[in-house]
Structure 1
Amino acid sequence: MTAVVGERSQAAAEGGAAAHPPGRGRWRRGRLIAVSALAVGALMAGHRLVPNGGGQFGSLLETFLPWLGVSVPLLLLCAAVRRSATAAVAVVLPAVVWCSLFGGTLWDKRSVGGDLTVISHNVNDANPDPARTARQLASSGAQLIALEELSAQAAPVYERELAAAYPYHSGQGTIGLWSKYPLRDARPLAIMAWNRALRATVDTPKGPVAVYVAHLASVRVHPSTGFTTARRNDAAQKLAAFVRAERLPRVVVVGDFNGTTDDRALRPLTTQLRSAQEEAGEGFGLSWPAALPVARIDQILCKGVTPASAWTLPPTGSDHLPVAAALRL
């Protein structure tokens, strides 16, 4: 009797082993990780479908969209810890989607040359040493320097420090443009209730270029209202209308837009123009905050010209990094 029971037990054990062959558990484990990976991939692929109501979540997502790529190695690590083949396969989806969206950004697309070098910098109205910042920017040798967030106290300092190298200057409210080439038709642009934008014609040796400098309204994040962007979005639409009506074929638009080129709210502007960083830069060119940049909200956009290279400059006394681009006219 004991022998019969033993044989049955052995047979049952062998049957169980056959029903659940080695390795099958790897496909059963990690389902939550797999679902999370698929959700991240779907979120990246369908970010345009995320509604923008109720706190402008769509714009907030698109502002930091590249950072969803951080989830890929984390999910892959979780899959390895769980020894889950299902999770490991699922992580392929967000990895492929991220590479299709941003993979080309990682290559160094910079080239030598260029007829016009432009710098744009939000100098911060609380900059402790505007004179040093001005000298640092001038040492770059750029032909155009556009500054945003000029305070009434600091503006004369920048004018004094940049006057020798940049004899042509237009200041409109908190915005300033300094040029080594003659400026004409400089005027403020009414995109907000206060003056934070200008347009000027730069007479370069290769012909005129329309230059727009703007500092769009700041974005606020509140626990009750979420991502508040209404004033910025309205200013972007008005600036886009001015650019659309521009008669000169060569146009450069620079400034602090308080948003990335992925943000749908800036599409009225970005669909008309090309990003110098995306076409001729290396990496994402993150510009804010200067101490540990997480987003590129300072832009150099153009049409009718060809970006040759784009880069960020070393930190100044501002909470933004200066951004620069060399353009072929």
Structure 2
Amino acid sequence: MADADVIPFDADDRAQQTAQESPPKASTSSTTTRDRGAIPGIPISDWKAAIESGAREVLGSDWEGKLAHALAFMRRRLEGDYTVDEFGFDAELTERLLLAMLRPVAEKWFRIEVRGLENIPADGGALVVSNHSGTVPVDALMTMFEVHDRTGRFLRPLGADLVFRLPMVAPIARRLGATLACQADAERMLTSGELVAVWPEGFKGIGKPFSERYKLQRFGRGGFVSAALRTGVPIVPLSVVGAEEIYPIVGNLPSLARLLNIPYIPITPFFPLLGPLGMVPLPSKWLLEFGEPIRTDAYDAVEAEDPMLVFNLTDQVRETIQQTLFTLLLERESVFR
């Protein structure tokens, strides 16, 4: 190779090349957590602020007070520091738990409109008599909620024998104010000034097919009228529109129902086809109208034994409810609106 082709290479260039080709030496000094800064995460103060914001959003500005009341309620339940009446009714549990749970269903799902609240006595005994529908007694629960929410009075339902034969349902029904639909219990509650409700159609009403919707079934033998006559309390007719459409019954399984010793096993357009999802009620629009009270205090208690009087009053109540149902159906714009 000629001398002219030789590229000059001095000591500084050699040192620079060596530094580029050699890997860097590991540092002998150690790095601590303090040198790196705090461990990444959400500070406790931020967690607290987020929880408070969520509680305020759900419970309102007075969320601390409501939470304190809820904790006190739970403590009393655990310690057994609560009272029930002679029928097993637990007013605090009903108001704080059941009725609170029903509020969004009544207001947002069924959008219940109530009329004739002035016909419910502010105090003293009275007997509310209503049509019955809906495949399961959702109408009873909604009526209980609306009466208490709008008047402050607890509605004490009279339930069928089956309700008190079911292992888990019976104690819950008792705690919520229900008692057996018999004259003895009805008269005891009416005499003590309770607002009592009865659905004389029974299972014939809630289990009837969709093709017979809003056609009242037989009102039994008028036992509720006899109880009202003996106690001298007014009878308040109640007409409920909307419950017929929540579970439209298109069929039944009578053989299986007899095997299970229950009145019926309904088949709806969505149950049992969709399984548990088919048990979600349809969001129909509800109308509740309390009619003018039918007074019974003008009669003597012994007249409760007069079958013609009992029949005539029973028929009067039934016809009042039926005619009001027809009127409400004409006024309703749509099933779901």
| Bin of the TM-score, shorter chain as denominator length | under 0.3
- Please identify which structure carries the higher strand content: 1
TM-score, normalised to structure 1, is 0.26
Report the TM-score when normalising by structure 2: 0.25
